[in-house]
Amino acid sequence: MPEFKQLIRFVDADLDGNKQVYHAIRKVKGISYMFANIVCTIADVDKNIKVGNLEDEKLKLIEDIIRNPSKYKIPTWLYNRRRDFDTGEDRHLLSSEIKLIRDFDIRRFKEIKSYKGIRHGIGQPVRGQRTRAHFRKGRAVGVKKVKSAKKGKV
């Protein structure tokens, strides 16, 4: 049995070695519970083993499955970026790629002046939520009372 590792650097994230494999790899941004489940199944790793007890070969295999899911025939409906706007292909994004691509998408919406782009630009909710009761942070809320003149002076 290999030595126990407390902290593991894994796909641009630090994983706690005391957590189970299934829960630990979900800490990587872009990996859902379904994706974590299929990665553990393909890598033939027990989900309840602690990450710190895994061998380096198993960790490299898990990382390769996460980075190249099409190579291991993971279904495309599990990917988090299907039919990419620029390339049209199905991709699975991880960690910092997600934020970068999302920012590009929002910028593109703003440039073409779509409804979503306009709502992003003015800081309003984009997906049809109501704004009467929510999304009132940082703006004037309700009616403000006007301070009357001091009572002693007329």
Helix (H) or strand (E) holding 115: helix 115-122
pTM: 0.71
List the domain boundaries for the chain: 7-78
Q: In this structure, are strands 13-16 and 7-10 parallel, antiparallel, or unpaired? A: antiparallel
CATH of 7-78 among 1.10.8.50, 3.40.50.150, 1.10.760.10, 3.40.309.10: 1.10.8.50
Q: State pLDDT tens for residues 75-131.
A: 889 888 888 888 888 888 888 888 998 999 999 999 999 999 999 998 888 888 888
